[in-house]
Homo-oligomer: A and B are copies of this chain.
Amino acid sequence: MAVYTQVSAEAAERLLALYDVGRLVSLKGIAEGVENSNYLLETDRARFILTLYESRVDPADLPYFHNLLAHLHNAGCPVPRFIDDRQGNWLQDLLGKKACLIEFLPGISVSEPTPIQAAAVGKSMAQMHKAVAGFSEAKPNPLGQESWKPLFERCDRAAAESLLPGLADDIARECDWLEANWPSELPKHAVHTDLFPDNVLFRGDAVGGLIDFYFACTDFRAFDLAVTHAAWSFSNDGKSYLADIGRALLQGYGEVIQLSDAEKQAFALLARGASSRFLLTRLYDWINTPAGALVTRKDPLAFHRRLEFYRSADVVALFGVEQ
């Protein structure tokens, strides 16, 4: 949520000279994205996002993200495209970083989604899951189930205990349980795995943009849906489950893709996994981010509460009576 690399107007103009997109009119660093530097760059012809990739994105993964977004765009999904320069290059070197010029999509991210918006997000995610048919590139999920136990082992247990007594043992047991019960045969393809409200742009109640694909990878489609369910259907602190939002999201998805019985049966388990993934990355960051750093630390317990919810959730009730 910060600009790590300062790009001068002169540097942006030198970059733009490679492209056939018009002349620089405005350049504003924006407080967006997890670990990249982002600029809203306007020319006399269009607006773009200029992204400089900082430490967390591996440049070797960028071709995967590029190809996935090109595939989704061509299939009609509202995702931003990487822009090619005159030579056909979409990847540049700028100030010692890899950088891309990306289509700007207007739209606003809601903080308190309505059921109508949640249904639209569910539907849009399902359309994206349909649209990846034919996209053949594979990329393991670096934050998938197999990563959770090793990630927890890199967290200081005493620090976890100081957040909540019993938390360390609880996480250790959960990791074991997820490992023992994680499915292997569910439908799997390229998925987003981070579709929080920040990453959906609405125009009114319609989804105008799905953005920030830097956690995209190959994983269960129902896991992607479970991440989205955990991200959208709770109060921020995880204390309240918003049943109307959760149901609308799943019903919106169901209008386009009928989950199999196996996927529905696994849904609470997958949502426990999704909650654990964010609990663990937040816990790791909480412990290892110095107070006062540029990055705002997010409360790990907000996802521990979600985890507790899914442990006792009635799957039929989650999906609502209509399904």
Contacts and interface: CB of A to CB of B under 8 A. Distances in A.
A107 to B, nearest CB: 6
A24 interface: yes
Contacts of A9: 108-111, 202
A8 B197 CA distance: 11
A139 interface: no
A12 B3 CA distance: 23
A25 B112 contact: no
Contacts of A293: 292
Given A3-B1, A292-B290, A10 B112 contact: yes
A25 B106 CA distance: 6
Q: What is the size category of the interface that chain A forms with chain B?
A: 20 to 34
A9 B114 CA distance: 13
A30 B30 contact: yes
Contacts of A8: 110-112
A109 B39 CA distance: 14
A30 B290 CA distance: 24
A243 interface: no
B27 A30 contact: no
Interface string A29-44: 1111000000010100
B30 A28 contact: yes
A294 interface: yes
Contacts of A203: 25
Copies of this chain, count: 2
Interface in A196-233: 201-203
Contacts of A29: 1, 30-32
Contacts of A70: none
Contacts of A102: none
Contact of A107 (B3, B25, B109): B25
A26 B47 CA distance: 12
A133 to B, nearest CB: 31
A143 interface: no
A185 B213 CA distance: 62
Contacts of A25: 106-108, 203
A107 B29 CA distance: 14
A2 interface: yes
Nearest to A12: B108
Contact of A28 (B24, B40, B202): B40
A106 B42 contact: yes
19 contacts: A1-B29, A2-B2, A8-B110, A8-B112, A9-B109, A9-B110, A10-B110, A10-B111, A10-B112, A25-B107, A25-B108, A25-B203, A28-B28, A28-B32, A29-B30, A30-B31, A31-B31, A40-B40, A290-B292
Interface of A: 1-3, 8-10, 12, 24-32, 40, 42, 106-112, 201-203, 290, 292-294
